[in-house]
Amino acid sequence: MADTANTAHVIIRPPLAWGLAVIAGLALNWLLPLPFLPADLPKGFLGALVFILALALLAWAIVTMTRAGSNVPTNRPTTTIVESGPYRFTRNPIYLGMVLGLIGLGIAFDNLWLLIALLPFALVIRYGVVAREEAYLERKFGDVYRGYRSRVRRWL
């Protein structure tokens, strides 16, 4: 059982939020299709390329976090501040990968609803997840986290 006293207490698990955004975008497109790209654009190829880049970033971030000995799931305690791999460039590479994944799917399926779903997803992640994680990390790691936060941007 997870030690809930030693977690960020996010309002929703990020993969669930991402899945809900994808389902909402696909369902809305089924009800009212909103294509937005030129017909002659290789949408499938471009979208797949963005999606693969997103998966690569997610995998790199998860492997880096796991190798550092910390937990990836938000309902488990963070054991260390990871500053290597993609965490040298962004404090939130997993969430950035999720955003890129939604963009890739939106392009691949020529589905504007998926891009529209990006807004509520991003707001939930920023204020319901990242803000809580940042407060938790500052409480738990103090100056170590504040130093990392001053060196590395939240997103890019």
Quickly list H helices, 32-111.
43-67, 93-108
Is a pLDDT exceeding 80 seen at residue 3? no
Range of the domain at 54: 42-151
In this structure, is residue 76 part of a structural domain? yes
- Conformation bin of residue 35: beta by default, left when phi > 0, alpha when psi is -120 to 50: beta
Average pLDDT over residues 131-152: 97
Q: In whole angstroms, give the CA distance from residue 105 to residue 109.
A: 6
In this structure, is residue 20 part of a structural domain? no
Q: 61-103 pLDDT, tens per residue?
A: 999 999 999 999 999 999 999 999 999 999 999 999 999 999 9
In this structure, is residue 1 part of a structural domain? no
In this structure, is residue 11 part of a structural domain? no
> Could you give the number of structural domains in the chain?
1
Across the chain, mean pLDDT equals: 96
In this structure, is residue 129 part of a structural domain? yes
In this structure, is residue 141 part of a structural domain? yes
Q: 6-63 pLDDT, tens per residue?
A: 999 999 999 999 999 999 999 999 999 999 999 999 999 999 999 999 999 999 999 9
In this structure, is residue 30 part of a structural domain? no
Residue reference for tokens 């909402």: 24
In this structure, is residue 31 part of a structural domain? no
